[in-house]
A and B are shown apart, each in its own frame.
Chain A
């Protein structure tokens, strides 16, 4: 029972990170029908930017008392901005000019951008994992039979607050409505006066910002950053997005948590070397038996 609860907490923590990344895949897919393979690397970049800020501030001796809170906030915000701008930059330079090209062209380009980012990050940070500064105090709390770290709670809380904010933004704000309109019918959206290019750019900005949050919490949670982190985490998050129904925001969140659980419990029950098999079997099963995912649209719209 004790171990079960620990795995559950672990699954939620992993799931929160995958959900944040999955949202980026799903937002971009929803609006462009493009699988942004570079998205995982945008997450890696966010991680390293947060890491760099924390290392710098620690070296300057600024991470004490109130400075610690400010430093953590600065690292988080820097990761958000860096990932957001990187993702929007990729869209502007690589994908926008391919808007009218056959669908394979942007897809191949995305894979190319991913390789490029991985190599650039490796050049910048080396090929070995870099330890993430252990700055968030992590006393263990005992809640009934459940033992969780404060860090775990912070990570999950941050992810959930971000997702709630995203939900309200997309449902209620003018830009959120424009994003949904462009995702549904680009021509009709432009006929009501929505600037489609700008809306797509904003979508990449927001997807990147979510990857930045994930980069920060992922670094804290895994305790390191590595130039290839985004590849594995990206694939899992992509699986999560497909499981939930690609293009569907609630689906990405649900899929993220389910994949996090699956990884956590499969590692516990059948061993870490098998957890990849479990996760990617899910991807294949979903693609074969329910390509629209758990929450995706299955009924055709009335015309």
Chain B
């Protein structure tokens, strides 16, 4: 297997504050990789640095052979990285349709974009019922579906998801995870940041544990799920 994404010795700072220190990650084509860690460990920072939203202080991010350092976020998106950001960040003042259309911003052919919007609506039928509704009036679960749907329109090779289950009812979480399984089955490689570590490890092939901006552990998902230290820290005592 070849590495689709490789992060080497990544350092990111906010002003003088070190957020990531020497992060190494590798994501192979076709994998689902979970990124776990406590609040403030640096999970969101990692994804934002990969997408070009944060400047890389030192280290490399290589996607499919291209070095992403110094590339703008829109250029990185067009290379084939989709990012469903923390907090969903849908365009609340626009309709569901307009949000999906914007997901296809880089697609030149109108017809092709329309086909892909139809595909996304087939995955999330709830969105079809609300297609002309202002996105800000959707429920939390629907907004998350829209955020994922919007990212799928570009057919990214790599999809980064930042806590897609946050604040959602268990039934909706289950639905979202089923969709992720489905997206993966169609050939999309996934990096999943989750608080819900149990669900994330059940879905993932491998996982990394971040602590204070450094990689504390990496292993197969099965091994992490059985590790007493990981269980105690992230899986809770249920």
Q: A residues within 8 Å of B by Cβ?
A: 174, 177-178, 180-181, 184-185, 187-197, 297, 301-303
Residues of chain B with a CB closer than 8 A to A301's CB: 92-93, 136
* Interface residue ranges of B82-141 to A (CB < 8 Å): 82-83, 85, 87, 89-94, 98, 101-103, 105-106, 136-138
Let me know if A192 and B94 touch, CB within 8 A. Answer: no
With A180-B91, A301-B136: A190-B53 Cβ-Cβ less than 8 Å: yes
Nearest chain B CB to A133 CB, angstrom units: 44
* Interface residue ranges of B30-60 to A (CB < 8 Å): 51-53
Using CB atoms, name the residue of chain B closest to A190: B73
Q: B residues within 8 Å of A by Cβ?
A: 51-53, 72-74, 77-78, 82-83, 85, 87, 89-94, 98, 101-103, 105-106, 136-138, 150-151, 154
Let me know if A193 and B106 touch, CB within 8 A. Answer: yes
Q: Which of A184, A190, A297, A302 contacts B77 (CB 8 A)?
A: A190
Q: Which of B77, B87, B93, B137 contacts A191 (CB 8 A)?
A: B77
What is the CA–CA distance of A297 and B101 in the complex, to the nearest angstrom?
24
Question: Known pairs A184-B91, A188-B91, A301-B92. 7 more at Cβ < 8 A?
Answer: A191-B73, A192-B105, A192-B154, A193-B74, A193-B105, A195-B72, A301-B136
Let me know if B89 and A194 touch, CB within 8 A. Answer: no
Binding site secondary structure of chain A = helix
Nearest chain B CB to A29 CB, angstrom units: 15
What is the CA–CA distance of A196 and B53 in the complex, to the nearest angstrom?
12
Let me know if A178 and B73 touch, CB within 8 A. Answer: no
Let me know if A177 and B92 touch, CB within 8 A. Answer: no
Residues of chain B with a CB closer than 8 A to A193's CB: 74, 77-78, 105-106, 154
What is the CA–CA distance of A189 and B103 in the complex, to the nearest angstrom?
9
Let me know if A302 and B89 touch, CB within 8 A. Answer: no
Let me know if B102 and A181 touch, CB within 8 A. Answer: yes
Interface centre among B53, B91, B103 (most CB of A within 10 A): B91
